[in-house]
């Protein structure tokens, strides 16, 4: 069906060279590179409809890997410096565009029939490219092009204008590599350029001397009416030496996936802080057992290196160019603003109007795009996640299923070997009796409970009970004296060994070092036996609703919750934590009370609504000899907010 059943009609309509192209085309007939690039770009975004409108700078970013920013000409504080440092580098490591936004019309104003021409022949809401910048006879000129290939500036220095009637006119034409013609190109003097154009799109290019590091995360923001604040996600950047850097915080491009992008539109913001280098004093703020002690010197004020450039709301990304002044770690605090752009039920209300075939394929591509996040949960996507094409090659489905089942069973057996099921309490008691009978050594009498000092990787210990060594050290000033307003008097430290504190006789059985000790301040005297388990030990938290991801049992006592972004909702009990099988660079928080579970769950049902999820990524460009390591951190429930509220109450 080469001619679609009608060769004459095919020759009449299709064989017209470049004139038959619907979209981009070259001014030179039958030149094919322009439509081929456009077709590849359309494939990248899903279809041609996704290429309609938008900022030219975003297209430049996609095609070149540049980082683009929008600048208002009226905000240029030093136009001489902008000319020397920026415009004179056009075509080297800078690309520039410019446009005049269409003004918002009042009710009393009438819109022109032709949505664009402004005076002097320039179109509004239409981007032009800056091709060349030249200084000639103490004057500054710009060569500019309309990508449509027609329609030019007709002011000063336009083709055939009186300004060209000077003896050095031909020399200027040669310096600009320019010739007159109705081809969409024109010349402007720099002063006229600043007065005429409103916005400049600046794109910074990177050569082989630069390196890029990035990390993408799926972030759950708070409910719709939450305050606009930091605290949902942060990033850390680590470099080994000083380096210039370009930092970009971006959302996923949603042109092709607009139907699945949710009912909110979002705007991003961030601030960069230099993390203080640890000193000998601050290193001593952690005890040998991992307990956080009071700092021995006043905290160092946070050093802000600046914030992202904001040109307009709802942009795909925000950027910042900064010099990282020293080797070390830098913290990027992120804010995510949003507004409801359409109905929450937009998908269900409009799905019947869409092609089911394209709907399914587009959704699969949408899921694939979100899989770039380090914490992407593939198990929750069901059939929406497309499997790699190489999965189905020279093996039948039966062969593949047999292999897959063998892998699943092998993994299950390996996990069972690492984390054997817990024994019942009666079995544990019998084993302890047998061990005590067969061995009189001190080792046999030691409890099997896990203690934080057995862990190779970083754990954040639970708060100490009042009266413990850690609690007292936290309440000390930098000089070691007791903080004003504490419950401890001057004589608290001078008690005779083995003596009791005043008013503390009711709780003297509590061990200062037992992080899981249970205390009921409201209990009456003599009721303590009713609140103990059968073995006589104090009751321990059971963390209802949470199970150990190692052995699968309940987390009795301390629940260790991994806060690394690659381990969403991952917990260990004390026994499994002590095995040291988790990646050593992952941090844990130790949760000792049932109430701690509510802190890690989050605020409300809205926090778990898919509409509150957004995929954001941090890209960091540095010099190749100082590559950056990027890590991310996500909010754990409402721990930080609760601590701030409690500190104000107490």
Cα atoms in the Cβ-side hemisphere of radius 13 Å centred on 543:
26
Tokens at residue 371, please?
């899989």
pTM for the whole structure: 0.75
Which stretch of 179-193, 248-262, 343-357 has the lowest confidence by average pLDDT? 343-357
Beta-strand ranges (E) seen in 499-556 are none
Closest CA to 464 of 282, 291, 283, 588: 291
pLDDT digits (tens, 9 = 90+) for 516-539: 333 333 434 444 444 444 445 557
Higher confidence at residue 19 or residue 364? 364
Highest mean pLDDT among 44-48, 162-166, 300-304, 540-544: 162-166
Instruction: Write the burial class of residue 349 (CB in 10 Å: 0-12 exposed, 13-18 middle, 19+ buried).
Output: exposed
Please give the pLDDT value at position 186. Answer: 95
* φ, ψ dihedrals at 144, nearest 5°: -125, 150
Pairing state between β 94-99 and 210-220 = unpaired
Please give the pLDDT value at position 330. Answer: 96
Pairing state between β 328-340 and 264-274 = antiparallel
Please give the pLDDT value at position 4. Answer: 65
Angstrom distance (rounded) from CA 494 to CA 489 = 10
Contact by Cβ (8 Å): 237, 212: no
Buried b (16+ CB within 10 A) or exposed e, 163-174: ebeeeeeeebee
Angstrom distance (rounded) from CA 85 to CA 74 = 18
Assign 3-state DSSP to the chain and report helix, strand, coil percentages, each to 5. 30, 25, 45
Contact by Cβ (8 Å): 589, 640: no
Residues in the chain: 650
Tokens at residue 464, please?
């100490």
Closest CA to 389 of 411, 370, 421, 364: 364
Highest mean pLDDT among 123-137, 467-481, 592-606: 123-137
Mean pLDDT of 183-209: 94
Strand partners, 210: 623
Q: What is the dihedral of CA 252, 256, 259, 260, to 10 degrees?
A: -40
Distance of CA 104 to the CA centre of its chain: 34
pLDDT digits (tens, 9 = 90+) for 220-237: 887 666 777 888 899 999
Instruction: Write the burial class of residue 293 (CB in 10 Å: 0-12 exposed, 13-18 middle, 19+ buried).
Output: middle
Please give the pLDDT value at position 460. Answer: 42
Q: What's the sign of the alpha-carbon dihedral 542, 543, 544, 549?
A: negative
Higher confidence at residue 542 or residue 226? 542
Q: What is the dihedral of CA 553, 556, 561, 566, to 10 degrees?
A: -10
Contact by Cβ (8 Å): 216, 632: no
Angstrom distance (rounded) from CA 408 to CA 378 = 16
Contact by Cβ (8 Å): 149, 184: yes
DSSP letters for 350-398:
HGGGS-HHHHHHHHHHHHHHHTTSTT--GGGSGGGSPPPGGGSSSS-HH
- pLDDT score of 156 more than 70: yes
Q: What is the 3-state secondary structure (H, E, C) of 594-615?
A: CCHHHHHHCCCHHHHCHHHEEE
Higher confidence at residue 63 or residue 382? 63
Higher confidence at residue 349 or residue 426? 349
pLDDT digits (tens, 9 = 90+) for 560-588: 999 898 887 888 888 888 887 888 888 88
Q: What domains, with CATH codes, occur in the chain? A: 7-52 (no CATH), 58-104+114-204 (3.90.70.10), 210-387+614-636 (2.60.120.380)
Q: How many CB atoms lie within 10 A of CB 561?
A: 25
The pLDDT mean for the chain works out to 77
């Amino acid at each position: 069906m080469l001619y679609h059943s009608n060769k004459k009609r095919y020759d009449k309509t299709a064989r017209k060279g470049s004139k038959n192209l619907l979209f981009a085309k070259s001014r030179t007939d039958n030149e094919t590179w322009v439509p081929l690039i456009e077709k590849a770009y359309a494939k990248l975004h899903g279809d041609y409809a996704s290429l309609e409108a938008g900022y030219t700078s975003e297209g430049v970013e996609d095609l070149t890997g540049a980082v683009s920013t929008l600048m208002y000409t009226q905000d240029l504080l030093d136009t001489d410096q902008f000319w020397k440092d920026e415009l004179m580098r056009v075509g080297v490591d800078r690309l520039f565009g410019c446009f005049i936004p269409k003004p918002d019309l009042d009710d009393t104003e009438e819109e022109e029939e032709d949505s664009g021409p402004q005076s002097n022949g320039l179109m509004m809401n239409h981007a032009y490219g800056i091709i060349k910048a030249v200084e000639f006879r103490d004057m500054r000129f710009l060569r500019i092009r309309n990508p449509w290939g027609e329609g030019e500036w007709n002011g000063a220095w336009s083709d055939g204008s009186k300004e060209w009637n000077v003896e050095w006119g031909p020399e200027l034409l040669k310096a600009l590599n320019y010739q007159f013609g109705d081809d969409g190109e024109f010349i402007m003097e720099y002063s006229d350029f600043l007065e005429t154009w409103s916005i400049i799109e600046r794109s910074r290019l990177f050569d082989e001397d630069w390196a890029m590091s990035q990390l993408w995360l799926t972030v759950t923001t708070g409910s719709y009416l939450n305050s606009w604040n930091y605290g949902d996600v942060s990033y850390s950047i680590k470099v080994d030496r000083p380096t210039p850097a370009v930092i970009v915080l971006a959302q996923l491009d949603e042109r092709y996936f607009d139907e699945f992008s949710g009912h909110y539109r979002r705007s991003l913001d961030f601030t960069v802080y230099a993390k203080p280098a640890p000193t000998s004093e601050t290193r001593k703020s952690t005890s040998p057992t991992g307990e956080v002690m009071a700092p021995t010197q006043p905290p160092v004020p946070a050093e802000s290196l600046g914030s992202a450039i904001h040109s307009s709301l709802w942009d795909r990304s925000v950027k910042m160019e900064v010099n990282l002044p020293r080797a070390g770690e830098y913290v990027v605090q992120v804010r995510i603003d949003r507004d409801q752009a359409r109905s929450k039920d937009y998908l269900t209300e409009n799905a019947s109007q869409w092609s089911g075939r394209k709907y399914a394929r587009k959704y699969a591509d949408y899921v694939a795009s979100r899989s770039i996040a380090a914490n992407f949960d593939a198990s929750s996507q069901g059939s929406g996640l497309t499997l790699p094409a190489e999965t189905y090659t020279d093996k039948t489905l039966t062969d593949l299923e047999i292999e897959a089942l063998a892998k699943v069973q092998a993994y299950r057996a390996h996990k069972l070997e690492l984390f054997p099921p817990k024994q019942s309490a009666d079995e544990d008691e019998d084993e302890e009796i047998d061990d005590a009978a067969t061995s009189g050594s001190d080792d046999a009498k030691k409890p099997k409970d896990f203690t934080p000092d057995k862990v190779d990787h970083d754990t954040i210990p639970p708060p100490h009970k009042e009266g413990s060594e850690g609690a007292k050290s936290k309440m000390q000033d930098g000089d070691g004296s007791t903080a004003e307003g504490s419950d401890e008097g001057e004589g608290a430290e001078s008690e005779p060994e083995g003596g009791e504190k005043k008013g503390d006789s009711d709780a003297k059985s509590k061990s200062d070092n037992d992080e899981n000790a249970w205390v009921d301040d409201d209990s009456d005297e003599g009721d303590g036996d009713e609140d103990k388990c059968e073995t006589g030990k104090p009751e321990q938290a059971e963390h209802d609703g949470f199970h150990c991801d190692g052995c699968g049992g309940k987390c009795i006592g301390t629940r260790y919750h991994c806060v690394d972004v690659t381990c969403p909702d991952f917990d260990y009990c004390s026994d499994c934590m002590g095995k040291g099988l988790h990646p050593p660079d992952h941090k844990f928080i130790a949760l000792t009370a049932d109430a701690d579970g509510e802190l890690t769950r989050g605020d409300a049902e809205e926090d778990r609504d898919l509409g509150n999820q957004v995929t954001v990524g941090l890209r960091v460009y540095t010099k190749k000899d100082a590559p950056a390591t990027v890590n991310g951190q996500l909010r754990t429930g409402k721990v930080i907010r609760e601590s701030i509220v409690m500190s104000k109450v107490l």
